[in-house]
Structure formats: structure tokens, C-alpha cells
Amino acid sequence: MKNERVYKMTFASVYPMYVQKAEKKGRTKDEVDTVICWLTGYDEPGLQLQIEKEVTFEMLFAEAPQMNPNADKITGVICGVRVEEIEDPLMRKIRWLDKLVDELAKGKAMEKVLRS
């Protein structure tokens, strides 16, 4: 049931926290947007539309133009769980996003965050 609650959260309610976390560490909103667009395939206007429509995390990923083929290279621990071991596909995508924002906030170079 806990996962269901996360799936139904609006992306717009969490997005400002992603930006705030990054900005506290000297990163920018544009960098957060770049990371989100890299993962989901949205362009900037498409991402902003999803925020304005207040879609849930479930819909954000369901409507994503194309998940990045390198997303499976996102590994490590987020919230005490290894991302690569998460079996639920939607929760894994949400945690990938959390991990990318976390790496950005920790000062990782953008090339490394974007697995290039």
C-alpha cells in the first residue's frame, strides 16, 4: 500500500523539493530539468506541461515519451535501498529520478549523472 501512495502523489508537489535540494548545493533548476528530461524523454515544454497538469508520478512515467536506454546504468542506494534491486518497475523509475537528483545535489559532474 505504501507504494500506491507514492504513485498517486503529484509530481508537481515533489518537483519543488527536487529543485530546492539541488539549489541548496549550488546547482540550478535547469540542471534538475535536464536530468528529468534525460531520464523521461520529455522536452522542456512537455515537462512544464506535466507539472501544470499536476500529474501523478504514475502518469508522469506512463506518459513519458521514452525512458532513456541508459537508465538501467543508474545504480546505488537511495532511501536505504539499492535501486538496481527494486523489482516494481514504477518504483524503480521513481527511485532512478531520486538518485539522479541526489547525485546532482552531491556535486557530481553532469556527464556522470547522465551516464555519458
Mean pLDDT of all residues in 26-51:
97
Q: What percent of the chain shows pLDDT beyond 70?
A: 99
- Tell me the whole-structure pTM to 2 decimals: 0.92
How many domains is the chain built from? 1
pLDDT digits (tens, 9 = 90+) for 90-116: 999 999 999 999 999 999 999 999 987
Q: Supply the pLDDT for residue 5.
A: 83
* Residue-range definition of the domain harbouring residue 14: 2-113
**Separation between Cα atoms, residue 92 and residue 97, nearest integer Å:** 9
Q: Supply the pLDDT for residue 79.
A: 83
CATH classification of the domain holding 9: 1.10.8.290
Determine how many CB atoms are found less than 10 A away from the CB of residue 10.
16
SS3 115: coil
